Structures are given as C-alpha cells and as structure tokens.
Amino acid sequence: ILEGWGEGFTLGALLMMVIITVVNMRKGVLLHKVILLELLLAMSHGTFCFMSFDGYGFYLSSTAALLYCSYFTHNVVAWMKIRFFFTGQRPLFGPRYCKWVRWIFLTTLAMTIPALIFEIFNNFRFFNNYSTLYRTVRPYEPLMRDPWWIFSCATLFHVIRKGYSLKFFKLVGRSPRFVVMLAAIFLAIIFTIMDIFLLASHPLTNYYDRINPYWKLALVFKCLTDNILLDDFKNVLQRL
C-alpha cells in the first residue's frame, strides 16, 4: 500500500508539474525545455509497482535509468538557474571566484556521468537477480546527485541576503510563489536526509529494497523547486 501510494503520488505530482510547465513555458527559452525534460524523464519511475509481467525487472530498471538521467538534468537546471550570478557582463561575484565556481561546478557534475552509468548498470543487475552490489552502493547515491543543487540553493540564499538585501517577509508579500519554492527546497533537503538515515540504519533487504517513500517525496519537491519559477534566479530577483 505504501509503495502504491508513493508511486501514485510521484506520478500524479509530476504530471501536474508537466502540465503547469507546458502552459507557462515561453518559446525559445532553453531553460523551460530542460525543466520539462527533467519532469518527463522522472515520470515513468512512478509506474513500475502497477506492472506484473515477464521481464518486470527490466521494466523497473529501465524506468530507473530514466530517473537517473532526470537527476543529472536536475543539476543541469540548477546551474542554468544560478549561472547569471557568475557569468555575463555584471556577475554578482568577483571574476576569479566566478571562474573557479564555473569550472568546479561543471567539471564535477560531468564527472558524475560514469558514476550514474555504473549505478544504472548495478540497478539492472540487482533487480534482475544477477548481483547484490547495488545494496552496497545505494547509500552513497546522494553524493552523486545532491551537492550541486544544494550549492545552487545556498547561492540563492546568499544572494538574497547579501546582493539584494531582501528580507523574508518582503519576499512573502511580493512573491508567494517564491516562498513556495523556498519551502519546497527545505522539504526536499529534509526528505533527502531521511532517505539517507533510512538506508544507513536499515541495510537493503527484500523489504527495504522497495518500501522507501522518502526518496519519492524528495524527488517531487526537488522538481517543484524548478517548476514553481521557470526562469533563472537572477531574472526572478530583479523583477522582485
């Protein structure tokens, strides 16, 4: 029941976000298209518990592969949201700092591609009863999917506090959407931490292989942080 609820919630929430994105996206804006791609890639992994047929393990692992691609796309979106703080004619930080941030962010993000491919391979082997290595590497999965978007969130908070001198209550009055996005960021971080604690306290067994709603909740709120405001953060803050 819990797994069915979790996948139904994930699929339904992502479907609503896809509809909202399509309705609000503007022609010629690459960021909007990448956000839509992120949502579409994640959607199929909310359907596997409703399937029962020969080759079910391959279906589950195929949707998981798309989910890993969605994780990577989410971090690409995170960079596209903050890049104008570090690039362009009027960056908000010093030239040297901007150069190092661009180089470290993009280089380390590219370095996660082999790790994600390795995890996709492990997922296929585990859910088709070829290997149990997935049990060992799954607890370390957040290390290759979360640091980049968390850095983008920290950058946003720093810019709000230092660069624009905007206070929380002013943001509430000027843009309720922005407040919803901040709440989604905090909830995504909380559920990510709960997912890590669950995996650390309960090594993967036949029960915990599938019953873990926390990563699904974290996924939905991560996607909401991209969907609720489609434009880059600098553009949004300048309008505020």
Which tens digits make up the pLDDT trace of 103-127? 999 999 999 999 999 999 998 888 8
Average pLDDT, the chain: 84
pLDDT bucket at 197, cuts 50 / 70 / 90: confident
With contact defined as beta carbons under 8 Å apart, do 72 and 113 qualify? Answer: yes
pLDDT at 230 over 70: yes
Which tens digits make up the pLDDT trace of 7-49? 778 888 999 999 999 998 888 889 999 999 999 999 888 776 6
With contact defined as beta carbons under 8 Å apart, do 44 and 61 qualify? Answer: no
Q: Within 13 Å and on the Cβ side, how many CA atoms surround 59?
A: 12
CA dist., res. 18 & res. 36, Å (int): 6
Write out the two tokens for 61: 């692992």
Looking at 75-79, 105-109, 135-139, 189-193, which range is the least confident one?
135-139
pLDDT at 168 over 70: no
Predicted local confidence at residue 208, as pLDDT: 46
pLDDT at 57 over 80: no
pLDDT at 178 over 90: no
Distances (CA, A) of 225 to 65, 76, 78, 165, 177: 22, 13, 9, 22, 10
Predicted local confidence at residue 17, as pLDDT: 93
Q: What percent of the chain has pLDDT over 70?
A: 88
Please spell the DSSP secondary structure of the chain, one letter per residue: -HHHHHHHHHHHHHHHHHHHHHHH--TT-HHHHHHHHHHHHHHGGGSGGG--STTHHHHHHHHHHHHHHHHHHHHHHHHHHHGGGTSSSS-SS-HHHHHHHHHHHHHHHHHHHHHHHHHHHHHHHHHTTS--HHHHHGGGGGGGTSHHHHHHHHHHHHIIIIIS---HHHHHHH-HHHHHHHHHHHHHHHHHHHHHHHHHHS---TTTTT---HHHHHHHHHHHHHHSS-S-HHHHHHH-
